[in-house]
Chain A
Amino acid sequence: MATTGRVVSVKFLGFLQRLAGHREASVEVAADATLADLLDALARSYGPAFASAIFRTPGDVHTHLRVFVNEEEAQVTDRIVTGGEAAQVAVLVVPGFEGGSR
């Protein structure tokens, strides 16, 4: 595991903004961190309400969770890759209004 961390800027969209208490944050992650690692870190720092909005069940994100890196949708298993620039990560939960699972 690489030790040199780096900083990504995270934007909380929709109701996550309310749960996080602000719209944007800078988070330090490991150089080889995946988005899942980032989400874990966020869940730890923002508490259980935020965590349960992200995770369906511990360790498993909601089917409705969407993550964007520089406006492009990404998978949580993806590494936070950037072209040298600081990554802009946006996190959002789309509603699963239809057919259970809110």
Chain B
Amino acid sequence: MVIDLKRCIGCYGCQLSCKAEHGTPPGVFFARVIKREFGTFPNTQLVFLPTLCFHCTNAPCVDVCPTGASHYREGGVVDITREECVGCLACTQACPYGARYFNDAPGAYFPGQGLTPYEQAKYSDDNVGIVMKCNFCIDRVTAGLEPACVANCASRARTFGDLDDPGSEVSHLIRLRGGEQLQPELGTHPNVYYLPPA
């Protein structure tokens, strides 16, 4: 995936459409938007940084997972097999990007008022006590759709495609605009590239 920081306006559409798509419980985000200030007044630059799991090629989260629940899927997607996760939190500590969330207890968006019909339809008890994260909307992608955060972004800041194909739009954008991984020095080789904000 390529995320264009020049296009992104920090509208949270991705964070919230991801939540709606996956029905993630309170406190769990597969996609997030972070705001950072650079410079000092009046030469201030406010940057909106949309994030998600970077589906690293050398994913430390997979390395440390004792049960093999965290694994690579075909096409490079890093996924978690719900049934195999024991909630040991090794991976949440190993991920340098804070992309993993531990869903410790059954949550509800209207605390003390039960679950909404939507939450009843979307939440599963199997999600409690395990680690959750973005899986690049694998079900949507398999069905020929874009990931929810990509399809919904009104600024078209997020582009999804095949990084291995030099002819793909993502590869083209990285070349054209100088796409960079976040903290490449960690050696994780994220498969999400950022295009510069200016």
Q: Do chains A and B touch in the complex (CB under 8 A)?
A: no
